[in-house]
Amino acid sequence: MSETRDRLAIIGWPVGHSRSPLIHNHWLAAAGRAPNYVAHPIDPNDDFRAALEGMAAEGFIGANVTIPHKEAAFAAMDEVSVAAQSLGAVNTISFKQGRFMGANTDGDGFLLGLETAMDQAVSAAGWRGRPALVLGAGGAARAIIAALGRAGIGDIRLTNRTRKKAEALTALADNVSVGDWGARQQLAEGCGLLVNTTSLGMTGQPPLDGVSAMLASLGDGALVADIVYAPLETDLLRAARAARHHAVDGLGMLLNQAALSFEIWFGARPEIDATLRAALIADIEKG
């Protein structure tokens, strides 16, 4: 019976590459539960709500949602969290007595990753009182900007190659301003946080240009985060460490958004231990 009860899934299309089963099954096993978390593709042409109802009937109690379904998931919910509402996107669903409850842990997962990094980097604790610069305007940038807004960051600077896309994100938080992609160095002036949410620097993608100029403009001991995790040590993070800033790698957001989802389902935050991190790194290195 344990194979058919209390099941969980990552829903996407395609979804075979997802690391969520590895992460959640580690925590399920650690909690003495059956490792029932699977990858569950849903065709974008299918009725999303009907697909969820089918899953509920098959014994699923919750799911994560990834590309391209986060907006369709939002539209299919009976109730959503504040974070999901502000983004119009859901990454975590709980199936409760025939009702679907949607949350979005991406942004808070990112912030939690920063906090964990700060335990090791006390001098970066002042980042909240300084401006933050976000590079990129895709889905991850949306979640991060909304979370920075909720965290009370008073000066959120945003830049993207396509400026219009950045301008469309200014309503996600108070105090968001947009600058030209070519003005990255000036925008970085005095910032306590720099986040790369673009695909630049990812394996097979072009490098992020202008890194040393941006890093030199940041305030002392800033947090520099990359949401890219393949490679784990991007040129940006390597250069940030060399410039005595604090580097936060892409596993921070990946693991912490997952931990917050697990907490929604089971009421307790799972531990991100060294074994899990090592297993994830080995999996990423396999490609």
Residue 235 and residue 247 in contact, taking contact as beta carbons nearer than 8 Å: no
Q: Judged by CB, which is closer to ligand ATR: 53, or 167?
A: 167
Nearest residue (CB) to ligand ATR, 16 versus 32: 16
Nearer to ligand ATR, 90 or 200 (CB): 200
DSSP 207: P
164 tagged catalytic = no
CB of 219 to ligand ATR, least distance (A): 24
- Per the CB < 8 A criterion, the answer to whether 233 and 241 are in contact is no
In the complex, the smallest distance separating the C-beta of residue 186 from ligand ATR, rounded to whole angstroms, is 17
d(CA 269, CA 272): 9
Shortest distance (Å) from residue 110 CB to ligand ATR? 12
Instruction: For the CB of residue 158, give the shortest distance to ligand ATR in the complex, in Å.
Output: 10
Instruction: Determine contact, residues 102/90, Cβ cutoff 8 Å.
Output: yes
Q: How distant is the alpha carbon of residue 91 from its chain centre?
A: 10
Residue 23 token pair: 């992460």
Place of tokens 């590309």: 67
How many CB atoms lie under 10 A from the CB of residue 165? 15
Could you give the CA distance from residue 276 to residue 282 in angstroms, rounded to a whole number?
10
* Residues in contact with 182: Cβ distance below 8 Å, sequence separation at least 6, in sequence order: none
Closer residue to ligand ATR (CB): 111 or 121: 111
CB-nearest residue to ligand ATR: 138
Q: Which residues bind ligand ATR (CB under 6 A)?
A: 136-141, 160-162, 165, 197-200, 206
Annotated catalytic sites, by residue?
Answer: 70
